Structure 1
Amino acid sequence: GVFAFMLTSLIHYRWIRWGALPMYLGGIVFLILTKFIGTKVYGARSWLHIGPINFQPAQLAVVAGIMVLALFLTQFREMHPMLRLLLSGAIAGAPCLLILLQPDLGEVIIWIPVLLALWFVGGLPLRYLICIILIGIAFIPIAINFGLKPYQQQRITAFTHPDIDKQGSAWAINQSLIAIGSGGWSGKGFKAPNTQIELGFLPATAVHNDYIFSAIGEQWGFVGGVLLIGGFALLLMICLFVAFFAGDQLGLLLVVGITALIFTHIFQNMGMTIAMLPITGVPLPLISYSGSFVLMIMFGLGLVNSVWIHRKVPA
Structure 2
Amino acid sequence: MSYLEYTVKTVPAGPRKLLYFNWPLAVVLIAVAGVGAVMLYSVAGGQFSRWAEPQLLRFAAGFVLMLIVGLVPLWFWRNMSVLAYGVSLALLLAVEFVGVTGMGAQRWIDLGVMRLQPSELMKITLVMLLAAYYDWLPVERVSRPLWVLVPVAMVLLPTALVLVQPDLGTALLLMTAGGLVMFVAGVHWAYFAAVIAAGAGLVAAVFQSRGTDWQLLKDYQYRRIDTFLDPASDPLGAGYHITQSKIALGSGGWTGRGLMQGTQTRLNFLPEKHTDFIFTTLAEELGFVGGVTLLVLYALVLAFCVITALQHRDRFAQILVFGVAITFFLFFAVNMSMVMGLAPVVGVPLPLISYGGSAMLVLMIAFGLVQSAHVHRPR
Deviations 1:152-175 (A, max 9, x none): 110000000111000000000000
Paired residue for 2:296? 230
1:198 aligns with one of 266, 280, 300: 266
Paired residue for 1:51? 112
TM-score (norm 2): 0.79
Indicate the RMSD between aligned Cα atoms, in angstroms: 1.4
Paired residue for 2:369? 303
1:141 Cα deviation from its structure 2 partner: 2.4
1:233 Cα deviation from its structure 2 partner: 1.0
Letter in 1 for 2:231: P
1:92 Cα deviation from its structure 2 partner: 1.1
Give, in whole Å, the separation in 1 of the partners of 2:148 and 2:108.
Answer: 31
| Contact 1:247 1:307 (8 Å CA) reproduced | no
Are 1:116 and 2:185 an aligned pair?
Answer: no
Secondary structure in 2 matching 1:282: coil
Secondary structure in 2 matching 1:147: coil
| Contact 1:73 1:84 (8 Å CA) reproduced | no
Paired residue for 1:103? 166
1:185 Cα deviation from its structure 2 partner: 1.1
Between Structure 1 and Structure 2, how many residues are aligned?
Answer: 310
TM-score (norm 1): 0.95
Equivalent positions of 1:117-132 (< 5 A) are 117-132=180-195
1:252 Cα deviation from its structure 2 partner: 0.7
1:277 Cα deviation from its structure 2 partner: 0.3
Are 1:137 and 2:212 an aligned pair?
Answer: no
1:217 aligns with one of 283, 296, 313: 283
Give, in whole Å, the separation in 2 of the partners of 1:59 and 1:141.
Answer: 29
Paired residue for 2:219? 150
Are 1:69 and 2:107 an aligned pair?
Answer: no
| Contact 2:155 2:175 (8 Å CA) reproduced | no
1:189 aligns with one of 258, 262, 269: 258
Are 1:168 and 2:207 an aligned pair?
Answer: no
1:60 aligns with one of 110, 121, 128: 121
Q: Which has the higher helix share?
A: 2
Greater CA drift, 40-49 or 223-232:
40-49
Letter in 2 for 1:198: R
1:19 Cα deviation from its structure 2 partner: 1.3
1:310 Cα deviation from its structure 2 partner: 1.1
Tell which structure's C-alpha radius of gyration is larger: 2
Paired residue for 1:239? 305
1:42 Cα deviation from its structure 2 partner: 2.7
1:143 Cα deviation from its structure 2 partner: 3.2
1:106 Cα deviation from its structure 2 partner: 0.6
Deviations 1:275-295 (A, max 9, x none): 000000100111111111011
1:28 aligns with one of 59, 80, 89: 89
| Structure 2 residue runs without a partner (length 5+) | 1-61
Give, in whole Å, the separation in 2 of the partners of 1:110 and 1:39.
Answer: 22
Deviations 1:36-61 (A, max 9, x none): 22222232211211222212100011
Deviations 1:144-193 (A, max 9, x none): 5432100011000000011100000000000001011111111111112x
Give, in whole Å, the separation in 1 of the partners of 2:325 and 2:155.
Answer: 17
Identity of aligned residues (%): 35
Secondary structure in 2 matching 1:197: helix
| Contact 1:117 1:256 (8 Å CA) reproduced | no
